Amino acid sequence: MKSKSAGKLPWLFLAIILLPALLLSHAGRLRAEGGEPRYFAITNARVVPVSGPVLETGTVVIANGLIQSVGASVTIPPEAWVIDGKGLTVYPGLIDAGVDLGITKPEAPVTEARGRGRRRAGAPVPEHISMGPEDRPGTSPWIVASDDFNAADKRIESWREAGFTTALVLPEDAIIAGQGSLMDLNGERVSQMIVKYHAALRIGLHPETYGFPDSLMGVISYLRQVTDDTAWYDVAAPTYAARPNGIERPNVDRTEEIMSLILHRKEFVLFPANDLVEIPRAMRLAQEWNLHAAIYGGQQSYELADQIAAKKYQVIVNLKWPEGPKDPDPEDIPSLRVLRFRDRAPGSPAALAKAGVKFAFSSGGITDPKEIQKNVRKATAAGLSSDAALRAFTLDAAEILGVADRLGSIEPGKIANLVVADDDLFAEKTKVKHVFVDGRHFEVHEIEKPHKPGDGDKPGGSPEVSDDDPEVGR
Amino acid sequence: MNRRSFATTIAVAGLLGFVAAPGVVRAGGADAKSNVTLIKNATILTITHGNIEHGSILIRDGKIAEVGSDIKAPDGATVIDASGEFILPGIIDCHSHIAVSGDVNEGGAAVTSMVNIGDVLNSEDPAIYYDLAGGVTVANVLHGSANPIGGQTIVIKLRWGKPSSELPFEGALPGIKFALGENPKWSNYRPPPGYPQRYPVTRMGVEEIIRQAFTEAKEYKKQWDDYNRRKAAGEANLIPPRRDLKLDPLVEVLEGKRYIHCHSYRSDEILMLMRVSKEFGFKVRTFQHVLEGYKIADELAAYGVGASTFSDWWAYKMEAYDAIPYNSALMTERGVVVSVNSDDSEEARHLNQEAAKAIKYGGLSENDALKLVTLNPAIQLGIDNRVGSIDVGKDADLVIYNHDPLSVYAVAQKTLIDGTVYFDRDRDIAARPAREAEKKVLLEKEKNAREEEKKKAEEKRKTDEAKKKAEQEKATPPKDKGDDSGGAR
């Protein structure tokens, strides 16, 4: 699996192997530090640790990729590169809990509806058409996003410059798409970027274009069959292994092998659900299948926050709020239902915070990181405190993803992921000045031109609701 | 509890042809205050024991407590004066596809009994409300007819405003959709070029698929019985059979725990399924559409299967050429339990009138005509102990019409389920101006936001351009005025 990325980046790997060898002969220290400073001190800055009270004037010391100390008066190591933080604020690095950074997708052909069994116009007929659950349609739980991660994706830099130090990178959507990896956006080497290799299993509820399942209910029945099959395999495999004589050999199925490691609340699952109908359905199914799942989407949580709280689910809110077309047809007036959804969706985070639901944010299908900040401001305008917004991007995201022991706040011993900005992080005019990822310093010189959309980063599903199909995100 | 506010209402403009959005008003509010309601001064069409003029119905805790002509309102009761109006038991639509998220067909295989409509109920489908506006209180929500053996089906009450989990009709036996004829053999659909045709493509093949599926189901049941026996006998080192979600519901059919609702048109294929069912030891509960049922009414009656048909649709495809509007009357006369269904969310809004057609075509009595959409579908779905007529002890699922429901002038005024008013025409009309106003405000808000965006983009473009120009001028000294550097004009 690893060889894939190696194949893509032969030069890089050659450099990785040769460079240290060259340096070793005359500069041992450089080899250990990659030629970069390993000690930093940001002094006289306002520090927002998230885990505790704000320090109006404090110093943060970074050593060897970790936060060494935080406080009003801390010892600055003599070798540290000192950054005067006067007038600046230090925040923990932001976490994007669901994005396709570094994942390149094949060009998606236009989907064309044509009677029963939609198909992709011009797309070649697939070699294999699923005829039933046993054909394991859209199923690849063995895929891990970081295995196919392209560290050269230009968008990584734009995300980092917007203050993101960590991203839950998800594989391309499918019914059982595979594992998302939590990656620190720290540079070129994939292996150094991985914080958590298996961070979240992505499942999707998209029907196949042809063959089984070509309906939502088919997808659900399929997932149910997989959970049953896995439960069966968990009994059948050891029984057979213990005494094969006289027992018909159970099939060996890669899906069951891997799902066995994931199901029964052993690993974290993202369950897509965005609206009033999908969210309760997701909670019901996650309970039926005994998943340790979070609601992924959650844009109509403003209606359901109490219910989500009662069932103790966590939510990863998609920040790509539903919007009308930029240049709407004046004849085509949307229904009140649609208008209300567009109007109220940014109120979901505030509602979740009020109900005591832990939530994080995902950029969903947003292509320009500035849009993320703008959409956060919509959520704060709808009642979310900026403290809560920050928490959702940092410590709460880290807790949901099970890495709060190493990420999400400015505390000694945690990974040195920091953002230094000249004002409140989510304010419109604020500029990010420095970003630290794993203690690596990235200075932000010039705000780059917004990255043009269309680089394979299409949203996973249209958050639009329509009269014909009140479902969302299918 | 997540009770969405009264204000959470839904509109779909244009669908009903209103200029204004039709008010779609949630149940609740005043009606929820009291669990005792008296509807008085109405003509009550009980279906089971004649009509009562100037009658009253007392509802307590969602059930019909008393029916008669002289009932006093208990203290604290909500009183609905229905003078000059008619009360019918809530209409039961024995063939519906409303309230489903996604496709109603899983067409990916010839046997899709693993899929379940119950998994994808959509409480937000406005069709629920539109059905209520037509007096429908119960719907048999079916999978489509794309396969000889289709998905599992569910009976719901149209409790608009409740979450999907509160729609199912408590205690109603679940069903499964079967289909015969042109649809399951895909006569009217061809796969896209290069894609394989799905088996079967003939009526023979449809029969074979059903036989095959039940042969497998029997074998599967045997495996489980065998396993359970050996396990009970204390045998160790046993591997249980794989649970097969496709065969589980067919075993339930064999055990009489699940009803078959079979889409069918032609008499020969209907007779075929009755023969196959006898051979395999299962029972068909209803034939749906059953357009040639009149040709084999005696056989249907002898078998004891329900027939749920259209009033007067025919000739829309080859296998529908022999359909006649006399079908329901003729089958009724021969002793078949017949219902008239909608198969369509528009048709569902006037099933009372569809029933009335059996009076014109076939001469059914008024009461027998009304049975086609009330008591008979209740019998077919096995819920006649709960709904289908106005009798003491049954659920207070009622429709109040301004005219005799068999009249073309009849319009439902109120629809009650379990004693709660889920549709109220007056309330709906009263809510429309506020909804229109809200819509206007929201549209205005979006428009302003769009204009703000445009303005910002324009400003940004201008400053960017100015910056660029300044840079250009710095890089190359101006030669001559007159090029496109502006200013000269």
Both tokens of A12, joined, read 């890089």
Cβ contacts (< 8 Å) between A246 and chain B: which residues?
237
Where is average pLDDT lowest: A94-108, A247-261, B119-133, B355-369?
A94-108
Confidence of residue A106 (pLDDT cuts 50, 70, 90): low
Cβ under 8 Å to A: B residues 195-214? 195-196
Inter-chain Cβ pairs, chain A and chain B, closer than 8 A: 190
Neighbouring-strand partners of residue A63: A39, A66
For B411-465, how does the pLDDT look when each residue is reduced to its tens digit (9 = 90+)?
999 999 999 999 999 999 999 999 999 999 999 999 999 999 899 889 989 988 8
Contact A131 B109 (CB under 8 A): yes
Chain B contacts of A129, Cβ < 8 Å? 195-196
Tokens encoding B216: 């497998």
Measured in angstroms, the CA of A105 and the nearest CA of chain B are apart by 24
* C-alpha torsion angle, residues B197, B200, B204, B208 (rounded to 10): 150
Confidence of residue B353 (pLDDT cuts 50, 70, 90): very high
DSSP characters over A240-281? HHH--TTSPPPPP-HHHHHHHHHTTTTSEEEEEE-STTHHHH
Residues whose CB falls within 8 Å of the CB of residue B397, separated by 6 or more in sequence, listed in order:
B89, B90, B137, B138, B157, B387, B416, B417, B418
Q: What is the mean pLDDT of residues B399-404?
A: 98
Average pLDDT over residues A154-161: 94
Which chain B residues have a beta carbon less than 8 Å from that of A351?
Answer: none
Q: Is residue A111 predicted with pLDDT exceeding 90?
A: no
Name the minimum distance, in Å, from the CA of A114 to any CA of chain B: 8
**Surface of B (3-32) touching A: CB under 8 A:** 4, 8-13, 15, 21
Question: Which residues are within 8 A (CB) of B240 and not within 5 positions of it... i.e. 6 or more apart?
Answer: A232, A235, A236, B227
pTM of the model: 0.87
- Asked if A277's CB is within 8 angstroms of B101's CB, the reply is yes
Q: Which of B108, B122, B245 sits opposite A470 (nearest CB)?
A: B122
Report DSSP state, residue A415. B
Is A168 exposed, middle or buried (CB count within 10 Å of its CB: 0-12, 13-18, 19+)?
buried
Q: What is the pLDDT of residue B482?
A: 43
Contact across the interface for A125 and B194, Cβ inside 8 Å: yes
pLDDT of residue A125: 77
| Distances, alpha carbon A262 to alpha carbons A141, A172, A289, B204, in Å | 9, 19, 11, 44
Q: Do B2 and A275 touch (CB under 8 A)?
A: no
Note whether B439 contacts A339, CB cutoff 8 Å: yes
Give the residue on B whose Cα is nearest the Cα of A305: B2
Closest CA to B174 of B285, B90, B98, B89: B285
Check whether A132 has a pLDDT greater than 60: yes
What's the confidence (pLDDT) of residue B237?
Answer: 83
Choose among A236, A335, A471: nearest Cβ to B12.
A335
Distance CA A76, CA A91 (A): 19
In this prediction, residue B194 carries a pLDDT of: 84
User: What is the residue whose two structure tokens read 């991660």?
Assistant: A149
A466: nearest CA in chain B?
B12
Q: Which residues of B touch A239 (CB under 8 A)?
A: 237-239
- Please give the pLDDT value at position B189: 84
pLDDT at B469: 87
Query: What mean pLDDT comes out for the span A109-120?
Result: 46
* Closest residue in chain B to residue A126, using alpha carbons only: B195
The answer to whether the beta carbons of residues B78 and B33 sit under 8 Å apart is yes
pLDDT of residue A156: 95
Within B344-405, residue ranges assigned H as helices are 351-360, 366-371, 375-380
pLDDT value for A34: 53
Q: A223: Cβ–Cβ under 8 A, 6 or more apart, which residues?
A: A175, A176, A203, A285, A289
CB contact under 8 A, A281 and B10: no
Q: Are B265 and B183 in contact (CB under 8 A)?
A: no
B113 part of contact set with chain A, CB < 8 Å: no
Q: Which of B427, B435, B423, B14 is nearest to A340 (CA)?
A: B435
Q: Output b/e per residue, A264-286; b: 16+ Cβ within 10 A.
A: beebbbbbbbbbbbbbbbbbebb
Q: Is the pLDDT of residue A2 over 70?
A: no
Please state, in angstroms and rounded to a whole number, the distance separating the CA atoms of residues B125 and A335.
13
Q: Kindly state the percentage of chain B with pLDDT values over 90.
A: 83
Chain A CB within 8 Å of residue B425 CB: no
What is the interface pTM, i.e. ipTM, of the complex?
0.90
Question: Dihedral, CA atoms, A410, A413, A414, A415, nearest 10 degrees?
Answer: 110
Reference A148, options A106, A107, A112; nearest CA is A106
For chain B, the average pLDDT equals 91
How is residue B210 written in tokens? 């059903």
| Cα separation, A468 vs B13, whole angstroms | 11
pLDDT of residue A51: 97
Contact B442 A339 (CB under 8 A): yes
Measured distance CA(A265)–CA(A31) in Å, rounded: 42
B55 beta partners? B42
Q: Rounded to 5 degrees, what angle do the CA atoms A52, A56, A59 make?
A: 80
Task: State the sign of the Cα–Cα–Cα–Cα dihedral B111, B116, B120, B124.
Answer: positive
For B413, residues 6+ apart whose C-beta sits below 8 A from its C-beta are: B82, B85, B400, B401, B402, B424, B425, B426
Residues of A in Cβ contact (< 8 Å) with B151: 217, 221
Amino acid in the structure at residue B59:
I
Shortest Cα distance from A287 to chain B (angstroms)?
A: 13
Task: For chain B, positions 257-276, list CB contacts with chain A under 8 A.
Answer: none
Residue in chain B nearest A114 by alpha carbon: B192
- Closest by Cβ to A225, choosing from B119, B164, B245: B245
The whole-number pLDDT of residue A118 equals: 47
Q: For residue B25, what pLDDT band results from cuts at 50, 70 and 90?
A: low
Model pLDDT, residue A116: 45
Residue A9: is its pLDDT beyond 50?
Answer: no
Best of A217, A256, A474 to disrupt the B interface by mutation (most B CBs within 10 Å)? Answer: A217
Sort out which chain B residues have CB atoms less than 8 A from A220's CB and list them: 115-116, 119-120
* Residue from A206, A215, A301, A467 whose CB has the most chain B CBs within 10 Å, to mutate: A215
pLDDT tens, A212-229?
999 999 999 999 999 999
CA atoms of B299 and A342, how far apart (whole Å): 56
- pLDDT for A271-325, tens place per residue? 999 999 999 999 999 999 999 999 999 999 999 999 999 999 999 999 999 999 9
At residue A452, does pLDDT exceed 50? Answer: no
Mark yes or no for CB contact B10/A337 under 8 Å: yes
* Sequence-ordered alpha helix ranges (H) in A333-426: 336-344, 348-355, 369-381, 386-393, 395-400
A213 → closest Cβ in B9, B106, B164: B106
Q: How far is B286 from chain A (nearest CA, A)?
A: 23
Could you tell me if B11 and B129 are in contact, meaning their C-beta atoms sit under 8 angstroms apart? no
Of the listed ranges A414-418, A428-432, B302-306, the least confidently predicted one is A428-432
Interchain proximity B443–A225, CB inside 8 Å: no
Confidence of residue B1 (pLDDT cuts 50, 70, 90): very low
pLDDT of res. A268: 95
Residues from chain A that touch B450, judged by Cβ atoms under 8 A, are: 324, 326
Chain B segment 116-155 residues within 8 A of A by beta carbon are: 116-117, 119-120, 122-126, 143, 146, 151
Look at A336 and B10 and tell me if their CB atoms are within 8 Å: yes
pLDDT of residue A188: 78
What percent of chain A shows pLDDT beyond 70?
82
Q: Which of A112, A114, A116 to mutate to test the interface with B (most CBs of B within 10 A)?
A: A116
Chain A residues in contact with B242 by the CB 8 A cut-off are: 228-229, 232
Please name the residue of chain A whose CA is at the shortest distance from the CA of residue B236: A239
Lowest mean pLDDT among A347-351, B329-333, B365-369, B478-482: B478-482
Angle, CA A218 vertex, CA A213 and CA A221 arms, to 5°:
125
Mean pLDDT for B165-185 is 97
CB-based contact B106 A119, cutoff 8 Å: no
Q: Name the phi and psi angles at B261, rounded to 5.
A: -110, 110
Backbone angles phi, psi at B449, to 5 degrees: -65, -40
CB spacing of A281 vs B195 below 8 angstroms: no
Note the pLDDT tens digit of each residue in A352-384.
999 999 999 999 889 999 999 999 999 999 999
